[in-house]
Amino acid sequence: MTRQRLYLFDTTLRDGQQTQGVQFSVAEKVQIARALDTLGVDYIEGGWPGANPTDSDFFAAPPETRATMTAFGMTRRVGRSAENDDVLAAVLNANTPAVCLVGKTHEFHVTTALGVTLDENREAIASSIRHLVAKGHEALFDAEHFFDGYRANPGYALSCLQAALEAGARWVVLCDTNGGTLPAEVGRITAEVVAAGIPGDRLGIHCHDDTGNGVANTLAAVEAGAQQVQGTLNGLGERCGNANLTTLIPTLLLKEPFASRFETGVTPEALAGLLKTSRMLDDILNRVPLRSAAYVGASAFAHKAGLHASAILKDPTTYEHIDPALVGNERVIPMSNQAGQSNLRARLEAAGLVIDPKDPRLGRIIEVVKDREDQGYAYDGAQASFELVARRELGLCPEFFEVKRYRVTVERRKNKYDRMISLSEAVVVVKIGERKMMSVSDSMDEAGGDRGPVNALAKALAKDLGPYQACIDDMKLVDFKVRITNGGTEAVTRVIIDSEDGQGRRWSTVGVSANIVDASFEALLDAIQWKLIRDIGSPVGSAP
């Protein structure tokens, strides 16, 4: 059977920008458009020319893409001709190969919100599309509130689609604008639309996630015959977001019945870059990536249950629905108090520590980890501290240096200009061999701002570590997370620090204390210890 072409239409730059708190710059729009093009989508909806300065600027100098650049707008208003509608004119002036116009197909919205007759509305759709086509654009028609409209008056909703197609629209797109329709109904109505004579290869689907079914609704419409899928990267979009293309693309490419039935413009190589594309968008938005995201989440292939982890080691297909590498992701076997010894051994092996399954120290390590987790430590997200716990039990953790004492001061007072300022200062005393070293630092950043006591402490500690100084010079603290949690009966603070070095390593360490400064200091010390072991080395293997 020959495979049908399935078209991917991305609206991250248009509907995605309706997300609360999201406002792309022109440069960011260009960057995202390029990434979408590399991924292999067919259409990139860049925005609504004329609706705001950013969108107009973007279309003034759009990036060159293989994908069809598309401008968004709305059908002409009733009472003026398509030629004389200034809103529509601004859209056409963007001069994109394709234009997508939204229009009403729900009788309630036509008569109540617009206050025009059903015929007038349908004629506005048809003449707007005719105008686009006459001007040489590929035309798409977004049928707003289609599913609600079809429930209320199927004949009218269908007649709007037919009018658009007859006027020359390349695509008509069924929109579940309010996001309230469930998958079975999306499937049923889409099938009825196809049965009524709207060809699947001119039919698109545009869903939202208001019932958590944005992806499922899209799949239901594709199974019923729609051959264009609209969505956004990471499911960005108004309210709960649009159908998530980052989830839909691997499903459509890797899963049946879609994989055998369709071909898309996304190659296996591009699919392997999916995680990177998803992270790039989060980076632009300054968002913490969603750990639990399907396919691309950091936890998507994390196996915490001990039974799962041991089976995975025998055969990954036992608890993985796809090979994580296909989307650029990887397997994670975290340590936790539910994990078994096989889990533990896999993690130690990842750190280069090969231990015999019968070694009694394995049991001791699990005991120590459990005990520390009771105190509030969490090793799931702090593999480097976990490794150090194990190394200490195994006698494979050299003591490079010892911190004898530290003192940090946080002060807030008026400066000489009578303005309140704050400043921190830290003194650390470290012993290396027989040598004692005392270092001091304040908390000021390059702009003269106070970065707080942990910053001062980190800088003082990193100032002079004698023979080890060269190793830590390329270390950088890249993230710092704080949680108030329970250690035994008391609330304690848990700090997780992510560090990076010049060789591209990234590692996480944890500290716990009722005192937040002390918890941070503990995580810092672990970070340095781990780095020194990597750079200077330490006995590795099943010794001693």
Closer of 3 and 255 to its own copies (Cβ): 255
Closer of 40 and 334 to its own copies (Cβ): 334
| Using rule CB under 8 A, residue 517 touches its own copies | yes
Single residue of 405, 419, 470, 537 touching its own copies by CB under 8 A: 405
| Using rule CB under 8 A, residue 476 touches its own copies | no
What binding mask, one character per residue, do residues 321-340 give for its own copies by CB under 8 A, x or -?
Answer: xx---------x-x-xxx--
Cα distance between residue 147 and residue 190, in whole Å: 9
Contact 36, 280 (CB under 8 A): no
Amino acid at 303: H
Site residue total, its own copies (CB under 8 A): 124
Of residues 63, 28, 65, the one with CA closest to residue 43: 65
Contact 247, 295 (CB under 8 A): yes
The distance of closest approach from Cβ of residue 187 to its own copies in the complex, given in angstroms and rounded to an integer, is 8
| Using rule CB under 8 A, residue 436 touches its own copies | no
| Using rule CB under 8 A, residue 149 touches its own copies | no
Q: Rounded to the nearest 5°, which phi and psi values hold at 161?
A: -60, -45
Q: Sheet holding 490-500: strands in order across?
A: 476-487, 490-500, 506-513
Single residue of 2, 136, 268, 315 touching its own copies by CB under 8 A: 315
Contact 526, 510 (CB under 8 A): yes
Q: State the DSSP H helix or E strand holding residue 248, giving kind and residue range, or none if neither.
A: helix 245-254
Closer of 196 and 288 to its own copies (Cβ): 288
Closer of 97 and 154 to its own copies (Cβ): 154
Pair of tokens at residue 132: 């686009």
Single residue of 301, 400, 401, 530 touching its own copies by CB under 8 A: 301
Residues forming a β-bridge with 444? 450
What binding mask, one character per residue, do residues 479-508 give for its own copies by CB under 8 A, x or -?
Answer: xxxxxxxx---xx-x---------------
The residue range among 12-20, 133-141, 196-204, 432-440 that interacts with its own copies, by the rule CB under 8 A, is 12-20
Contact 25, 259 (CB under 8 A): no
The residue range among 126-134, 152-160, 216-224, 433-441 that interacts with its own copies, by the rule CB under 8 A, is 216-224
Q: What residues numbered 115-144 form the site for its own copies, per CB under 8 A?
A: none
Give residue 462's Cα distance to chain centre: 33
Q: Which residues contact 27 (CB under 8 A, 6 or more apart)?
A: none
Closer of 202 and 303 to its own copies (Cβ): 303
Pair of tokens at residue 343: 């889990």
Q: What is the DSSP letter of 112?
A: I
Q: What residues numbered 167-196 form the site for its own copies, per CB under 8 A?
A: 177-180, 182-184
Cα distance between residue 381 and residue 480, in whole Å: 12
Contact 174, 203 (CB under 8 A): yes
Between strands 490-500 and 506-513, the pairing is antiparallel
Of the CA atoms within 13 Å of residue 428, those in its CB half-sphere come to 27
Q: What residues numbered 234-293 form the site for its own copies, per CB under 8 A?
A: 235, 238-241, 244, 247, 251, 255, 257, 286, 288, 290-293
Closer of 190 and 455 to its own copies (Cβ): 455
Single residue of 142, 450, 501, 526 touching its own copies by CB under 8 A: 450
What binding mask, one character per residue, do residues 62-101 give for its own copies by CB under 8 A, x or -?
Answer: ------------x---------------------------
Three-class secondary structure of residue 397 per DSSP: coil
The distance of closest approach from Cβ of residue 382 to its own copies in the complex, given in angstroms and rounded to an integer, is 10
Q: Rounded to the nearest 5°, which phi and psi values hold at 302?
A: -95, 125
Single residue of 7, 9, 11, 19 touching its own copies by CB under 8 A: 19
The distance of closest approach from Cβ of residue 289 to its own copies in the complex, given in angstroms and rounded to an integer, is 12
Closer of 223 and 464 to its own copies (Cβ): 223
Q: What residues numbered 26-55 form the site for its own copies, per CB under 8 A?
A: 27-28, 51-54
Residues forming a β-bridge with 427? 407, 440
The residue range among 162-170, 198-206, 391-399, 407-415 that interacts with its own copies, by the rule CB under 8 A, is 407-415
Pair of tokens at residue 280: 């790039």
Q: What is the DSSP letter of 456?
A: H
Single residue of 118, 518, 538, 540 touching its own copies by CB under 8 A: 518
Single residue of 11, 12, 17, 529 touching its own copies by CB under 8 A: 17
